Amino acid sequence: MDARSILGMQAAAPAGTQASGAGNAPAPGGSLCIEARDLWFTYDGRAYVLKGVTLGVRRGAMTMVLGRSGSGKTTLLKTLKGLTRPQRGTVTVLADDRLDDRRAPAHAVAYLPQGLGLVRSLSALDNALTGALSRVGTLRSLARSFPKATLEEAKETIARLGLAHKLYEPVYRLSGGERQRVAIARALMQKPSVILADEFVSQLDPITADEILEMMRAVSREGISLLITTHETHVVARFGDRIVVMRDGGVIHDGPSGSLSEDGMVAILR
Ligand SMILES: Nc1ncnc2c1ncn2[C@@H]1O[C@H](COP(=O)(O)OP(=O)(O)OP(=O)(O)O)[C@@H](O)[C@H]1O
Ligand SMILES: [Mg+2]
């Protein structure tokens, strides 16, 4: 599936405000949209879960973060999203000219938690619309009264993800793969620059997982940056434009696609 057909919007040429590339359409994997420097984080004030993580999320690229259970992947994503504050280090979300200036930079970053965070009793459509809450006024969002154009956009986004027939179905009646699609639709409705997705396809059969990851790749080719955590080496080898490996709270590898074989990944994870 082609990126345009998923997003239903004009290809954007996001421009960074950082020194390199301001005003230019970026090459995939070129300029940064999030820059994390020397992140240290502890939940209990004793054991550090992030130990000096430095990482750049590149525009228009699909960055896969590989790491064993407990290596700190979820904590890293929460820190990049600003849900947890590091005791030391900084996270900088670099401006993107597609963003509405009135919105906080936080809206530029969509976060798909490990459990997806959908409202089970709401329909696929209503869940997707919650992604647009930050874009409509407070009164309208309180009344859940969305402009017609936003409603149409949500329907289109869901349809393009292959779920047109389940628009009004409550999420609790959807399959795992269908829920992933609703979560993607909700993230896209936020019009983010970056999507952080935690263990996004771990629960799915390999064919559905591939289908969803192909969609995510198409989204990234549209200029939306993706950071996806996983512990599956074949997913990283197949889909990572950038490969980041975490171990025990640190980044032990950060390189382009092909910089590490699957065997190499297994070896450094051991
Ligand atoms: N809310 C919390 N309070 C205290 N410790 C926590 C909390 N959340 C995570 N931890 C600890 O931090 C470490 C890293 O957890 P994290 O969830 O970031 O790992 P992960 O790489 O995402 O693992 P998984 O692959 O199992 O999801 C673990 O040792 C975990 O026990
Ligand atoms: Mg996790």
**Single-letter amino acid, residue 97:** D
N-terminal to C-terminal alpha carbon distance within the chain: 36
Predicted confidence (pLDDT) at residue 80 exceeds the cutoff of 90: yes
- Residues facing residue 244 across a β-bridge: 65, 254
Q: What is the CA radius of gyration of the chain?
A: 18
In sequence order, the 6+-apart residues with CB closer than 8 A to the CB of 143 are none
pLDDT at 211: 87
DSSP labels, 48-92:
EEEEEEEEEEETT-EEEEEE-TTSSHHHHHHHHHTSS--SEEEEE
pLDDT at 208: 85
Any idea where the domains of the chain sit in the sequence?
Answer: 3-269
Predicted confidence (pLDDT) at residue 14 exceeds the cutoff of 50: no
**Single-letter amino acid, residue 248:** D
Give the mean model confidence (pLDDT) for residues 244-267: 94
Does ligand 1 lie within 6 Å of residue 71's CB atom?
yes
Does ligand 1 lie within 6 Å of residue 230's CB atom?
no
Q: What average pLDDT is seen over the chain?
A: 83
Predicted confidence (pLDDT) at residue 70 exceeds the cutoff of 90: yes
At 142, is the pLDDT very low, low, confident or very high (cuts 50, 70, 90)? low
Q: In angstroms, rounded to a whole number, what is the distance separating the alpha carbons of residues 31 and 35?
A: 10
Lowest mean pLDDT among 49-53, 155-159, 202-206, 265-269: 202-206
How large a percentage of the chain has pLDDT more than 70? 81
Token pair, residue 130, equals 């919650």
Does ligand 1 lie within 6 Å of residue 69's CB atom?
yes
Q: Are 159 and 188 in contact (CB under 8 A)?
A: no
Predicted confidence (pLDDT) per residue in 197-218, tens digit: 998 887 788 888 888 899 889 8
Tell me the CATH class for 3-269.
alpha beta
Predicted confidence (pLDDT) at residue 166 exceeds the cutoff of 60: yes
pLDDT at 25: 37
pLDDT at 160: 86
Which is more confident, 206 or 6?
Answer: 206
- Nearest to 120, CA basis, from 182, 163, 177, 78: 182
How many H helices and E strands in the chain?
Answer: 9, 9
Angle formed at CA 103 by CA 226 and CA 118, multiple of 5 degrees: 55
pLDDT at 2: 41
Q: Which residue among 39, 40, 41, 43 is best mutated to probe the pocket of ligand 1, counting the most ligand atoms within 8 A of its Cβ?
A: 43
What separation in Å is there between the alpha carbon of 228 and the centre of ligand 1? 16
Coil, strand or helix at 111: strand
**Single-letter amino acid, residue 36:** A
Q: In angstroms, rounded to a whole number, what is the distance separating the alpha carbons of residues 216 and 197?
A: 10
